[in-house]
Structure 1
Amino acid sequence: MSDKALEALYPVEGEYRLIAIKLAEARQLFNTLDPAPFEMRELDADAAAWLLDAGRELHRERKLKIVLYLPAPDARIADADMRGAIRHYFHYRAMKYRQHLRHLFRIGRQSLAVGLAFLIACDFVARYLLNGPAEHLGLVRTGVSILGWVAMWKPVEIFLYEWWPIRQDERTCERLMTAPVEVRERKSGAMATPAAVSTLSSANAQP
C-alpha cells in the first residue's frame, strides 16, 4: 500500500497512527452471544478482523491508537469497558498465537527427527543394499535417495516458512493490546469523523 493510501485509511494524529471504527452502539463491538461482562467479552468477528488486519498493515508504525466513534450516550459510558475488552481480547489472541507457535515447533522437532532417521535409512539402503552394476539399480538408488530428501520437506517448511507469520501475528496482537483506546462522540455531518474508517454493519448489533 502506498504512503498516500495508508495516510487516507489510517490518519496520523500527533505521534500516533489511528485505527478508527464507527459504531452505531457500544454493544456492536462485542460478540452478542458471549454472556461475559463487557470488559471480558469476546469482540465481534468483523471488528476483531478489522483491527488485526490494520495492525498487520501498520507493522512498521511505532505507535498506534484505536479510536472508536460512538453516539453521544454510549461514548460517555463505554470508555473503560471498551479499553478493557480490546486489551483482554488481544492479550488472549497473543497467548493463543504463542501456544500455536510452541506446538508448531514441537511438531517441527519431531518431524526433523523422523525425517533425519528416514533420510539416513534411505542413504544406507542406496549405498549398501542397492550397490551393484545393474542399470536398474542405479535408478532405484536415485529414487530411494530422493525419497529420503522428500521426507525432510515438513521440518524444512516449518522452520523456514510456517513459524514467522504466526510470530508476526503474535506481535501484532501485543501491539494492539498495548495501544491506547479512545472513545469519541460520533456526530452527524460529513466532517465529524475521518472519511476512511471501518463502519460495522448494524446487523451485528442485534441481540
Structure 2
Amino acid sequence: MENSGDNGAIELRLADSAQLFNTLDPFPFRERDLAPEAEQYILDWAETLPKDQPISIIVHLQSANLDRHRDSDLQQAINGWFRAREAGEARDMKTLFRDGRIALCVGFVMLGLFMLLSWTVAQNYDNPFARVISESLVIIGWVVLWRPAEMFLYDWTPILRRKRLFHRLAEARVTIHHAGRPGETPADGA
C-alpha cells in the first residue's frame, strides 16, 4: 500500500480485493467490514491530504481477473463503509450533547445544593473549621460543572473532525486498476 504523492489521491496495491476486508465478516462483499489495517492505512493518508480537495482512492489489484460487477461492489463497499462510519460519528456527537445536557442539569442542581449547604454552614457556625467546610462546599459545587463544561467546550471537536474525514472518504472517487490491462479504462465509483 502506498500514497501516490498526488494531491487528494490514496493508492493501494493489493494482490486481491479480499485483502481490504475483514476475513471473519460473514456478510456479502458489498456489506463487509474493511480490515482494520486497511481502514487505518486509508485514514492515516487521508488525514495528510489537503482538506479543500476531494479524495480519490486508487486500488491496484495484481489479479488480472476483470469483473466490472465485483469492481462496482468494491467501490460501493469502500464508500459505504466510510458512510456508515460518518453516521456513527453523527450518533456519537448527538449522544455526547444529550449526555452533556443531562450532566449540565445535574451539575447546576448540585451546584445549587452545595451553595445552599455552604451558606447554611457559614450562617450557623462561626469558626475557622466551619469556614474551611463552607469554602470546600463551594469549590466542590463548581467542580461538579467541570465535566459538562468539558463536554460542550472540547469533547465534540475530535468527533466532528472524524465525521468530516469519514464524509470526505464516503464521497471519495474509488478507481480500480487491474494488473495486465494497462490500456483499459478503470471503473469509476462515487
Task: For 2:83, give the aligned amino acid.
Answer: H
Partners of 1:169 and 1:10 lie apart in 2 by 23
Check whether the contact 1:17–1:61 (CA below 8 A) recurs between aligned residues. Answer: no
Q: CA deviation at 1:89?
A: 0.5
The within-5 A match list for 1:130-169 is 130-131=122-123, 132-169=125-162
Which residue of structure 1 lines up, in the alignment, with residue 91 of structure 2?
A: 99
Which residue of structure 1 lines up, in the alignment, with residue 186 of structure 2?
A: none
Percent of aligned pairs sharing the same letter: 31
Q: TM-score, normalised by structure 1?
A: 0.78
Pick one of 20, 23, 27 that aligns with 1:32.
Answer: 23
Task: For 2:128, give the aligned amino acid.
Answer: E
Which residue of structure 1 lines up, in the alignment, with residue 178 of structure 2?
A: 185
Partners of 1:109 and 1:92 lie apart in 2 by 26
The SS at the match of 2:11 is: strand
Q: CA deviation at 1:122?
A: 0.9
Partners of 1:178 and 1:110 lie apart in 2 by 35
Partners of 1:58 and 1:123 lie apart in 2 by 51
* 1:17 counterpart = 2:11: no
* 1:62 counterpart = 2:53: yes
Report the count of equivalent residues.
176
Partners of 1:117 and 1:66 lie apart in 2 by 51
Q: CA deviation at 1:186?
A: 4.5
Which residue of structure 2 lines up, in the alignment, with residue 175 of structure 1?
A: 168
Q: TM-score, normalised by structure 2?
A: 0.84
After superposition, give the CA deviation of every residue in 1:80-112 in whole Å (9 maximum; x if it has no partner).
Answer: 122111011111111111111111111111100
**Residue segments in structure 2 that go unaligned for 5+ positions in a row:** 181-190
Partners of 2:112 and 2:174 lie apart in 1 by 55
Task: For 2:118, give the aligned amino acid.
Answer: A
Task: For 2:60, give the aligned amino acid.
Answer: Y
Q: CA RMSD in A?
A: 1.9
Q: Which has the higher contact order (CA 8 A, sep 6+)?
A: 1
Partners of 1:162 and 1:111 lie apart in 2 by 14
Partners of 1:37 and 1:9 lie apart in 2 by 28
The within-5 A match list for 1:96-135 is 96-131=88-123, 132-135=125-128
Which residue of structure 2 lines up, in the alignment, with residue 197 of structure 1?
A: none
The SS at the match of 1:73 is: coil
The within-5 A match list for 1:33-48 is 33-48=24-39
After superposition, give the CA deviation of every residue in 1:34-70 in whole Å (9 maximum; x if it has no partner).
Answer: 2222122111111111112222333624221111111
Check whether the contact 2:15–2:63 (CA below 8 A) recurs between aligned residues. Answer: no
Partners of 2:165 and 2:149 lie apart in 1 by 25
Partners of 1:94 and 1:80 lie apart in 2 by 21
Check whether the contact 1:118–1:151 (CA below 8 A) recurs between aligned residues. Answer: yes
